[in-house]
Amino acid sequence: ANSKLRRMAVATRAARAWFCRRTSANRRSCTTMSASSYPYVVVGGGNAAGYAAKAFVEAGATDGQVCVLGDEPYVSYERPALSKAYLFPEKPARLPGFHTCVGGGGERQEPEWYAQKGVDFRTRARVVRVDAKAKEVHTAAGDVVKYEKLVMATGARPTDLYKDFKMEGADGTGIYYLRDVADADQIVQGIQTAKQGGGKAVVIGGGYIGLECAAALCLNGLDVTVIFPEDYIMQRIFPKEISEFYEKYYESKGVKFLKGRVISLFSCNESGKICKVNLKDGMELPCDMVVAGVGARPNVEMLQGQVEMEAGGIKVNGQMQSSDPNIFAIGDIAAFPLLCEGGKVQRSEHVVNARLTAAHAVKSIMEPEAKTEYDYLPYFYSRVFDLSWQLYGVNEGDHVMFGTPEEKKFGAYWIRDGKVVGAFMEGGSAEDFENIKKVAKARPAAPSKEDLQSMGPDFASKL
């Protein structure tokens, strides 16, 4: 019996040594494998996770009850800063200045905040597997974290032209994507390198990330060209009249647009750096850097086959609860019923949704008897150059323009089934933006298009 035990011990040590060699290039991870247990575990260290931690603390979670697992070397921060002030040539934003929850008007939660509140926020803790049956989370370092309630806040990753589409040359250096601080730091370095070369930047994508990055590159003095396959920028959100205003404004700053164009491949120099963008129509664009903003993919793979999925994300009810009653999803990955659209299930990749779903999920966990339904009002905004716009509600149906674009103060209402269901405004005051929000929320009966156009923002203010 003793010899059998010795053989088992030797075999166990050998298996452990093999596991360590196979699972980590860092030998220290072999000595840090551990198991722990928490009532509440949050997977993902981004925007939503920071607001979830805040909500748990405010709801009375005590010391040692909450664990947050994030793969970055930083605690949660406000991601929108990365495509805006982080890339500015003067007085750029840097951590710790934009840790959550400053974007939502709350306290800045630096690492010390989590320690003081008794929240175990583990940075560099990449989660590789979730076992819903065992109620366990497994990290790349081999740690096992058990939970009673799990909040998935894994967000989305940028669509990669090489990894996702195998586009020729897209595996070269000099192409950048934007999701986290490390990505933003690489873009900042890429800007400096481009300035030392020909100063030419190509941005791929005419949506949010593409346009905000294009503005930042322009402010840094680069010669910027934006390429996208649609007929005009922000086509998913804006009608053509609104898009044309922003296109002309960008062009006045020196930005060039190539609309309705598709990339075929990237050419690289001898060192493997992208030096030219090749379009399907035969056009070639020399470049010193490329920024790609061509969409994002929700990080839901760890729960595939374990919970219900819909609309590309984890399907949740009005309490942000998945088909597994112990698992909740928030932020980009949550596919929730949109009450203002009759319960249509959809995702929203927006920071406001990340903040609100975080708070709502935690309330559902801490106050399960409340059964409050998540009632989200779709919202979009952007700030580029000296422009600032906001859009609330649904951009469907007939749209009515108002205001004076030449004065950089104008807007639009969307009318569907006789009601005003959405409102947009550029250059509005805080009061203007609050008023159009109220309109989108209330969905009042629409006057005639002529009256709505002449009333403009007054329609909202008189509601």
Length in residues, the chain: 463
> pLDDT band at residue 25, thresholds of 50, 70 and 90?
very low
Q: Which helix (H) or strand (E) holds 127?
A: strand 127-131
Dump pLDDT digits (tens) for 407-433: 999 999 999 999 999 999 999 999 999
DSSP secondary-structure letter at 40?
Answer: E
CA–CA distances in Å: residue 373 to residues 344, 360, 369:
14, 9, 12
Supply the pLDDT for residue 33: 60
Contact between residue 175 and residue 161 where contact means Cβ atoms under 8 Å apart: yes
Region 156-178 average pLDDT: 98
Dump pLDDT digits (tens) for 309-330: 999 999 999 999 999 999 999 9
Token pair listed for 43:
């997977």
**pTM for this prediction:** 0.91
Dump pLDDT digits (tens) for 186-201: 999 999 999 999 999 9
> pLDDT band at residue 394, thresholds of 50, 70 and 90?
very high
CA gap 44, 275 in Å, rounded: 36
pLDDT at 9 over 80: no
Region 207-218 average pLDDT: 97
Contact between residue 285 and residue 277 where contact means Cβ atoms under 8 Å apart: yes
pLDDT at 31 over 70: no
pLDDT at 247 over 90: yes
Q: Which residue has the tokens 């490329």?
A: 290
Dump pLDDT digits (tens) for 98-132: 999 999 999 999 999 999 999 999 999 999 999 99
Supply the pLDDT for residue 231: 97
Region 373-388 average pLDDT: 97
* Number of Cβ within a 10 Å radius of residue 226: 26
The angle formed by the CA atoms of residues 69, 74 and 75, to the nearest 5 degrees, is 60
Dump pLDDT digits (tens) for 53-65: 999 999 999 999 9
Is the alpha carbon torsion for 247, 248, 254, 259 positive or negative?
positive
CA–CA distances in Å: residue 79 to residues 125, 263, 294:
19, 28, 17
